[in-house]
Structure 1
Amino acid sequence: MAIPVTQNNLERFEETLDSLTKDLPLSKVKAALRYALLGAGKRIRPQLIFSLLSTVNEDDLKIAAALEMIHTYSLIHDDLPAMDNDDLRRGKPTVHKAFDEAIAILAGDTLLNLAYETVLDTKLDEHKKLLCLRILTRNAGIYGMILGQDQDMYPENTLDTTIKTMYLNKTGKLLGCALALGCVLSNRFELIKSFQEIGENLGVMFQIQDDLLEVNGDLNQIGKSKDSDLKNDKKTYVVVAGIDEAKSQLEHLSTEIKYQINTKLDQPQSLLSLIDLIKNRTH
């Protein structure tokens, strides 16, 4: 039985992020990673994990924190001048603007390493611990998010890569990772593969919505540089297929994702509500 993603669980999650980073050695790197990690963001990935759990314990919070650290590291690096060269993230200057490029690189590197250390420090049994590490590394690395970043930056170097494939890898893999981790923590081992795929499709849906927001959204609500992809001459689903087709694809993906969830969970409402929130978000 899954429970609604309550405000209390999100508050506990924020406290976990704070406690895992507050005692790091005093440094600019510590200041930078906490600047990026704490008190901001939609927290979609932890909410996806919690939506599959009947209760949320300390180990669940730590696994969710590890994934959020990896996500935040990816955003810090994605914003760098060598990649997207963005000035705003979550409504405030990006890390390399608030600090400098060297500190931004080191802060991202630290978060990636701290994520794995956090998993190892849980009290999960060894099987679950290793499975969580396997899911995290597979989705965050060259078979997942990093491949998607490569495809985003150098699409001409990858044969048969569609925009949706790039979205699936760059964003979908970590959303799939969240649902796969939720399956591990809730002992639904037989559903790991299915929910990984559901999360990957959710990532495509998320990115298409992002494309629409970049064209039509309010900068004050979006909280990041508007027209970033257009500025960098990146092809988006809206640019290639048009606004109407993007909206149609958004509806199609939402319907398919919710159908798949309904066929696999006895009590899917918590997760279904999150899907609607993601689809209808304004930032």
Structure 2
Amino acid sequence: MPEAVGGADTAARLEAWRRRIDEVLETALADHPAAERRLGEAMRHAVLLGGKRMRPLLVYAAGTAFGADESALDAPAAAIELIHAYSLVHDDLPAMDDDALRRGQPTVHVAFDEATAILAGDALQSLAFATLADAACGDSARVAMLRELASAAGAHGMCGGQALDLAATGRSASSDIDALERLHALKTGALIRAAVRMGAIAADATDDDRVRLDAYADALGLAFQIRDDLLDVEGESATLGKTAGKDAAQDKATFPALIGIDASRARLAGLGAAMDASLAPFGARAAELATLGSLAIHRSH
């Protein structure tokens, strides 16, 4: 893993936020216990068994860069991770990607059962919005964040991207790069952009700053997915924490399949440069955002 762009202080801040979001998520689950024990256990399995926490870290990084208190960022950071967790639970189902391994652990439908996994995903989605509704900020900011998360998670965002992905599975030969980029801008990029936007909303960042943050987030979302595609080709299941080689086995359209590994790496480098250019006017206060962009490109899992 590369050194944090801002050095030891930046690395320490990111690690402190990782610990913080784990505590916030633990509290959210404890404060909203499931009516049935097995469902609650499945929800905890989906949320608390690790993960990169990229999306909540982006909320903290974007918000604090523009002066928001961490306490005002806890709810949106937790909400977006709960949405992400629900999406993974449903993505792993037999009707979707049919995967047995996630974060080095059995997926929820394997560890419990398929019906419980569906209910756990549904409950995590509801919990996300309940958590965000209690955000420690003004009413207008709270409503704006709720709108942002709902849009990013819905039919014009993550769910729409997943539908496009399912429709394209088994038909990689008929796919093109423009369609693939649109798919991932929805399936992966929409939630990443929402994370950055919610941090900016909580901090009341200016319109000009938000335009630059959007450009950064769009590049990051695509870079994150290209790196995922490369890892599926080059990685091992033990390192990835999920099943390697699934994309080729399911004949999915991926960047390496469409443009090759070398061109995919070159595209990653170009997206890294685009992120740097978007953040350059912010200087040192964007160190955490820059580091998260670098980690997305260079990560091994």
* Matches of 1:161 and 1:280, distance apart in 2: 24
| Preserved contact between residue 169 and residue 200 of structure 1 (Cα < 8 Å) | no
The answer to whether the aligner puts 1:73 opposite 2:86 as a matched pair is yes
Q: Which moved more, 1:133-142 or 1:227-236?
A: 227-236
Distance change (3 Å), C-alpha of 1:262 and 1:233: same
1:103-252 to 2 correspondences below 5 Å: 103-155=116-168, 162-190=179-207, 191-252=209-270
| Structure having the larger proportion of residues in helix | 2
Distance change (3 Å), C-alpha of 1:184 and 1:55: closer
Q: Is there any run of 5+ residues in structure 2 with no aligned partner, and where?
A: 1-5
The answer to whether the aligner puts 1:16 opposite 2:33 as a matched pair is no
Distance change (3 Å), C-alpha of 1:91 and 1:20: same
TM-score between the two structures when normalised by the length of structure 2: 0.88
Amino acid at match of 1:87: A
| Preserved contact between residue 14 and residue 57 of structure 2 (Cα < 8 Å) | no
How far is the alpha carbon of 1:119 from its aligned partner?
1.0
| Preserved contact between residue 79 and residue 85 of structure 1 (Cα < 8 Å) | yes
Looking at both structures, which has the greater relative contact order when contacts are Cα pairs under 8 Å and sequence separation is at least 6? 2
Query: Which residue, out of 55, 60, 65, partners 1:45?
Result: 55
CA RMSD of aligned residues (A): 2.2
SS in 1 for 2:184: helix
How far is the alpha carbon of 1:56 from its aligned partner?
4.4
| Preserved contact between residue 223 and residue 268 of structure 2 (Cα < 8 Å) | yes
TM-score between the two structures when normalised by the length of structure 1: 0.93
Amino acid at match of 1:7: E
| Preserved contact between residue 180 and residue 193 of structure 1 (Cα < 8 Å) | no
Q: Is there any run of 5+ residues in structure 1 with no aligned partner, and where?
A: none
The answer to whether the aligner puts 1:273 opposite 2:281 as a matched pair is no
How far is the alpha carbon of 1:15 from its aligned partner?
0.9
Amino acid at match of 1:165: R
Amino acid at match of 1:34: R
What are the Cα deviations for residues 76-112 of structure 1, in whole angstroms up to 9, with x where unaligned? 0000111100110000110010011101110000011
SS in 2 for 1:40: coil
* Matches of 1:55 and 1:188, distance apart in 2: 9
- Matched length: 282
| Preserved contact between residue 177 and residue 196 of structure 1 (Cα < 8 Å) | no
What are the Cα deviations for residues 219-265 of structure 1, in whole angstroms up to 9, with x where unaligned? 21100011111121111111111111111111111111111111355
How far is the alpha carbon of 1:271 from its aligned partner?
1.1
- Identical aligned residues as a percent: 35
SS in 2 for 1:252: helix
Structure 1 runs of 4+ with >6 Å offset: 156-160
Q: Which moved more, 1:68-77 or 1:44-53?
A: 44-53
The answer to whether the aligner puts 1:99 opposite 2:116 as a matched pair is no
